[in-house]
Structure 1
Amino acid sequence: MAILKALSLASTSAVLIIGGIGKIAKAEISNPAPLFKYVDTYSTKISANNDIADIYFPKSLGNKIGKRSFPIALLLQGANVDKSNYSNFARIVASYGFVVVVPNHQVNRPKVGTGLFADTSQIEAVLAQMKLENKNPNSPVTNIINTEKLGLLGHSLGGAVGLSAIANLCLPFLCQGSFSRPRELLAGAFFGANLRNQTTQKFIPINNSNIKVALLQGTIDSIALPFRAQATYEQIQDPPKTLINILGANHYGITNTNNPTGAKADKNVPILDQNTSIETIGRWSGLFLRATILNDKFALNYIYSTGDSLDTNVTVTNQTKKYTKEFSPANNCSPLFR
């Protein structure tokens, strides 16, 4: 098998890359295990828009969580990808200590008709619903949700919606009416996503106001092309920011099966085993949210330091600080970066 990690390292433009060489393989045991072995699920209706959503949440043995509370992670779906296709991924993220909400947002859009299309209105709708769920004594997640902390997850179109929300933008097709970024929004991790003007194809600056962002990208994605993830990464204004390339994954490395029914097909056959791909994307997404929302030191170390060398299925680009350009007193033509 080709040494994809070595090739990716050779071709990646990076601010900081830490890593080694390895073949595509299943995640090694040196990668961190989830915090919670058991994850439960139920479905509910989002009152504000009537979306049906699946909720995934950590469950301790004997159903006793104690005094723990878990941030919300809203997963914004890809175009015409049913919520059921994300169940394996959602369970993995939940196992790292999150209440993961996966709605089906069916709407009618001009020129394209009715379909499953994420948009920014879901963010406030889900926040409001989870506050209700947290107070409802009959809800499976009563009193275990930290409703003051929200992370976004997204796939394809849903990732573009999440990026636009973090940039506090209301863009055509991604936003209906108006949008204001909620204070609870702290981070986002998006797979197979980029943000660009659909008319000019120019990439849109993402003024993320210190909201942390990770882009996860399959290296053989024929729908959301890898160079677009790199270009979007460069448009994220405030670090820390992360670009995680999943070696041998295509556009549907996050879904239970490749090319789910109803969605646009990726012509490239994935090289990376589907279950390994889901586990890899879920683990990096969950740990990224732990690092950035909960300031988990172990997760921070994994995302920004050790994870690339431990996981043979990824290459990672990180920028943790802003670069400021100054001029040396001795030679005002020599830029210094720090």
Structure 2
Amino acid sequence: MLTIKALSVVCTSTLLLVLGVNEIASASSFNSTPVFNNVANYTTTISGDNNLADIYYPNPTDLKKSNYSFPVALLLQGGLVDKSNYSNYARQVARYGFVVVVPNSKRPDPTYGDEALLPQTTQIDTALQQIIVENENASSPIVGKLDTEKVGLLGHSLGSIVGLSAIGNLCLVTQTPTCPGSFSRPKQIVAGAFFGGNLRDKNDVYPPINNDGIPVALLQGDRDGRALPFRASLTYNKIKNPPAALINIKGANHFSITNTNNPAGAIPDPINATLNQDVAIETIARWSGLFLRASILNDKDAFNYVYFAGDAADPNVTVESKRVPESSSTVAPLGILFAYFTITQLRKRINESKRHFKSNA
């Protein structure tokens, strides 16, 4: 499959002839930086299941005075990984304009004990009920600041399985049970971005994911020794409707999303990451945050970054597959995007040449 990156190289000469300076300048103005600088957090109890949840929210100086309405991003933890291990990632996603809710899900398991940290589909409903409570509670730091009708799912590992099942309206029998009883997708769920996960049943069958047009992104480390990259590809191929993206992060392993590699209590990844942990977290959070902005807030620049310009600009990311609606009004003119890719590639090559020259000087 011919990628956008490859096409940008092929079209270089033609683009520089047909595109004006103003168009090229416009194309190079894609901004991937967070919207908010400051983030605060607090911990609450989810009354529906009595689990604790950490809540991270943008905290501008005018939070109380202005009429903010932040969508919610519900982060479903990896198996046996405590919510505290996602604090760095959650903070950075919150900076893109979301209230990030990170609950623990403790439940009995015959292998891991009576209070095993294992996400399940039922916690989605209890978490959604709790955000309504937080939005109406006068003592809550985010009272009146939530858009409770727009919820994006985030997930890691087993949490990705739960999130993908929810979006696909599925209740699968998987290797680790995640769906007790039945499940019906809440109407508030409007997008999902999942790292280090795939969806298959206990017989290793990959079911169709009938996402009904809900945008889905799979973020995958190419050094993941737990959720193997080829499984993400097979899962991506089962997503029925665009928009969808398969985002590869070079040098990332299964725990590149958590504060530290192989956090205590988790089943470790046998393969070490080569991408610095802080860089990996920022990368995964940036792509997650921009994907949610594109999907939930109809942010045109975020949409163009995720589906067109971002992988050319980010040396650690390749968007291997991308599907967008053909009639999408948010897509930037193709010629401008090609020009952007061309300029970015030239800059990369110049910088690489400079580094090579310095190393051999």
Match of 1:188 among 169, 174, 192: 192
Q: Where does residue 33 of structure 2 map in the other structure?
A: 33
Q: Where does residue 19 of structure 2 map in the other structure?
A: none
Change beyond 3 A, Cα 1:284–1:33: same
**Stretches of structure 2 lacking an aligned partner (at least 5 in a row):** 10-28, 327-361
Residues 125-161 of structure 1: per-residue CA shift (max 9 Å, x gap): 1111110110111001100000000000000000000
Give TM-score scaled by structure 2 length.
Answer: 0.80
Q: Where does residue 320 of structure 1 map in the other structure?
A: 324
| Distance apart, 1:252 and its partner CA | 0.4
Distance 1:15 1:226 in 2: 20
Q: Where does residue 226 of structure 1 map in the other structure?
A: 229
Q: Where does residue 99 of structure 2 map in the other structure?
A: 99
> Helix, strand or coil: the match of 2:86?
helix
Match of 2:294 among 291, 303, 311: 291
Q: Where does residue 79 of structure 2 map in the other structure?
A: 79
Residues 29-67 of structure 1: per-residue CA shift (max 9 Å, x gap): 976110000000000000000010000000102544610
Change beyond 3 A, Cα 1:212–1:30: closer
Q: Where does residue 150 of structure 2 map in the other structure?
A: 149
Alignment of 1:171-250 (within 5 A): 171-172=172-173, 173-198=177-202, 200-250=203-253
1:219–1:246 CA contact under 8 A, matched in 2: yes
What CA RMSD, in Å, does the superposition of the two structures yield over aligned residues?
Answer: 1.8
Distance 2:51 2:93 in 1: 21
> Helix, strand or coil: the match of 1:235?
coil
Residues 259-289 of structure 1: per-residue CA shift (max 9 Å, x gap): 0000011111110000000000000000000
Q: Where does residue 334 of structure 1 map in the other structure?
A: none
| Distance apart, 1:216 and its partner CA | 0.2
> Helix, strand or coil: the match of 1:153?
strand
Give TM-score scaled by structure 1 length.
Answer: 0.86
Q: Where does residue 268 of structure 2 map in the other structure?
A: 265
Distance 1:182 1:233 in 2: 22
2:121–2:178 CA contact under 8 A, matched in 1: yes
1:18–1:305 CA contact under 8 A, matched in 2: no
Distance 1:181 1:235 in 2: 18
1:220–1:250 CA contact under 8 A, matched in 2: yes
Distance 1:110 1:69 in 2: 42
Distance 1:218 1:309 in 2: 17
Alignment of 1:107-118 (within 5 A): 107-114=107-114, 115-118=116-119
2:198–2:232 CA contact under 8 A, matched in 1: yes
2:219–2:248 CA contact under 8 A, matched in 1: yes
Q: Is it true that 1:129 corresponds to 2:130 in the alignment?
A: yes
**Stretches of structure 1 lacking an aligned partner (at least 5 in a row):** 1-13, 22-28, 323-338
> Helix, strand or coil: the match of 1:61?
coil
Distance 2:180 2:38 in 1: 37
Alignment of 1:162-173 (within 5 A): 162-172=163-173, 173=177
Change beyond 3 A, Cα 1:162–1:15: farther
Alignment of 1:38-49 (within 5 A): 38-49=38-49
Amino acid of the structure 1 residue aligned with 2:52: I
